[in-house]
Amino acid sequence: MQAPPCAAGEAGMDTAVSARTSEQDNIAIERPLVYRQSAWTRLTHWLWAAALFFLLLSGLNIFNARPQLYIGQESGFGYDNTILQIGAINTPNGPRGYTDIFGHRFDTTGVLGWSGPKGYERPRAFPSWATIPSYYDLGTARVVHFFFAWVLSATLLAWLLASLFDGHIRRDLAPRLGDLRRLPRDIADHARLKFHHGRNYNTLQKLSYGVVLFVLLPLMILTGLAMSPSMDTVLPFLTEIFAGRQTARTIHFGIMVLLVLFFAVHMLMVLAAGPVNELRSIITGWYRTDSPESSNSSKGSA
């Protein structure tokens, strides 16, 4: 017997709703949410981000006071140890900005050496939009820089102690033998923008985060202390370790460049891997994985 039109319609609607519900259930089963980032990890992440932002821009203002980098203990006209210099020169076509790197000169007018609004250009190593304050003010820049240097140092020390205590370093950051074996495949996957969303960090994440947290940031702090004359009486060996205050300043600057490059790659990977999922993870702690199996694997997104 044929069902009444009304009954047939209701049956069709029930079937459609059931199909959608089943599909949603399958999606939920296939891509579960896992609690990936602890509150402590998220808090320190954003504190580091804020501190490094202000350190970078105030540091560039400080650099503008002496826009040269040297190797060794001494610096000045009588020494041939300059490896980088940013400045401006007069030419028949007007002032031009330049950047010297290991004796090779590049025209960087408009960005480095000579910059500013049209008609108000002036000699300046880094432009006003890249410094805090935007105008040249060494005193204010130093106050901002030192404040956030202590924020960075205190946060890093607190994170290190807490991570050792709760096993975060051993459990989530220390690469295992299996991780190292997967490294070539992880590099190839990232080069193809193919990402695996798992509960744990992937090999490249573990290695890159490890280098930043245990090499670059500690070196940044130590070279900063080595540049301070007041630290000579407290930690006199620091200057000797870095082969002079000028060398420490050069290393400090080089680490800044590496951290900026890390940040740029980090942001590109976040966008390529899925910004909504990545931001939810570092804001709320919850992260959507590829499948129930991957939630227990050692692979993660970029």
Can you list the residues of the chain whose pLDDT is less than 50?
1-11, 13-28, 293-302
Residue-wise pLDDT for 264-295, tens only, equals 999 999 999 999 999 999 999 999 988 654 44
From the options 3.90.480.20, 1.20.950.20, 3.40.50.2000, 3.20.20.60, give the CATH code of 34-64+131-296. 1.20.950.20
Q: What is the pLDDT of residue 79?
A: 62
Strand partners, 104: 101
Quote the tokens at residue 37: 């980032």
Please state, in angstroms and rounded to a whole number, the distance separating the CA atoms of residues 66 and 108: 17
- Delimit the domains of the chain by residue range: 34-64+131-296, 67-129
Q: What is the pLDDT of residue 75?
A: 57
Residue-wise pLDDT for 211-264, tens only, equals 999 999 999 999 999 998 888 788 888 888 998 889 999 999 999 999 999 999
- Given the DSSP bridges, would you call strands 113-115 and 122-124 parallel, antiparallel or unpaired? antiparallel
Q: What is the pLDDT of residue 45?
A: 95
* Residue owning tokens 């924020």: 151
Q: Which residues contact 298 (CB under 8 A, 6 or more apart)?
A: 176, 178, 179, 182, 198, 200, 201, 202, 203
Quote the tokens at residue 160: 């290190």
Q: What is the pLDDT of residue 284?
A: 94
The dihedral through the CA atoms of 111, 258, 156, 171 has a sign that is positive
pTM for this prediction: 0.82
Q: What is the pLDDT of residue 244?
A: 87
